[in-house]
Structure 1
Amino acid sequence: LQQKAIAAQVKQLIGNNTIKANGEVGYNFTDGKLVKRLYVSSRQHDELSRGLLAIAKQDEQYYLVPAAVAEKITQRQAESIVVLNAKQQQEDEDDPYADFKIPDDLMW
């Protein structure tokens, strides 16, 4: 009974806080052993990379949710959150390399 209540809370959190994923940029992520792709805007891609947005899974569907909502979902049902990147730290004002940004798509 308690698990059903938790599942209902998670469903409601996802339903009320979903951000529409619309765009042409493919964001690749893993769900278990599978690699999935969600098409998002370049802004949403950046926010996913910086940990401001997360990807939640419900009924084999993937949804974008804010990171704060994802943390609430994780407290209730951690397996529902597929992607939640760690938030990047604020840049140091005394950093001598602050003018030299590393591109997100850098290949080694």
Structure 2
Amino acid sequence: MAKNALQAQLLKAGLVDSKKAKKISKQSEHAKRTGDVSNVEAKKALAAAQAKKLEKDQKLNQEKQQLLEEKMLKANIVQMIRQHQITDTQGEVNYQFVDHAKVKKISITQKLYDQIVAGHVVIARLEESYALLPRPLADRIDTKLEGFMVVSNDTSDNALADDDPYAAYVIPDDLMW
């Protein structure tokens, strides 16, 4: 009835004629049966917003998953270092090395000192301290995630360049300072 009353008021005001009023009522009934055009646009906008939100949520989940995987990898590496570190390290020889632009010093045995200089043993960062690891394990850890190895004397990388003017002057690796 409200629709008819509105149409009656529009007819009285002279804004629409009877033919136009019937046409509008038929269009509104047709829109109700088939789905309103404005509802279709609203549904499209809602679907687009949901798709955008879904994409954003997937991106956030992917970032969280990457952080979780990285955290798990770090925990696994720390566990590997703890399990395989060389435990008999206390000695009277001091080995000095640079870590984050600071000179650090550890007391080790002469045998471990020689192995570090030769490149058979590597010094790795273990939370707030350092651990000595065998070379093959250190290489495996370094391929998984870099940043744990502090001192890694590799004998194959020490090849001298042909154009080096100081090639004849060899500096020993075991130089005490």
- The percent identity for this pair of structures is 30
Deviations 1:15-64 (A, max 9, x none): 11110221110000000100000111000000000000001112111010
TM-score by length of 2: 0.49
Larger strand fraction of residues? 1
Pick from 114, 117, 127: which aligns with 1:59?
127
Distance 1:76 1:103, change over 3 A: closer
Which runs of structure 1 show a deviation greater than 6 angstroms over 4 or more consecutive aligned residues?
Answer: none
Superposed displacement of residue 77, structure 1: 2.1
Equivalent pairs, count: 95
Q: Distance in 2 between matches of 1:8 and 1:106?
A: 35
Which runs of no fewer than 5 residues in structure 2 stay unpaired?
1-67, 157-171
Larger helix proportion, structure 1 or 2?
2
Deviation at 1:106, TM superposition (A): 8.2
1:10 Cα offset (Å): 0.6
Which residue of 80, 89, 92 maps to 2:148?
Answer: 80
Pair 1:70-2:138 in alignment? yes
**TM-score, scaled to structure 1:** 0.78
Gaps of 5+ in 1: 89-101
Instruction: Identify which of structures 1 and 2 has the higher relative contact order when contacts are C-alpha pairs closer than 8 Å and 6+ apart.
Output: 1
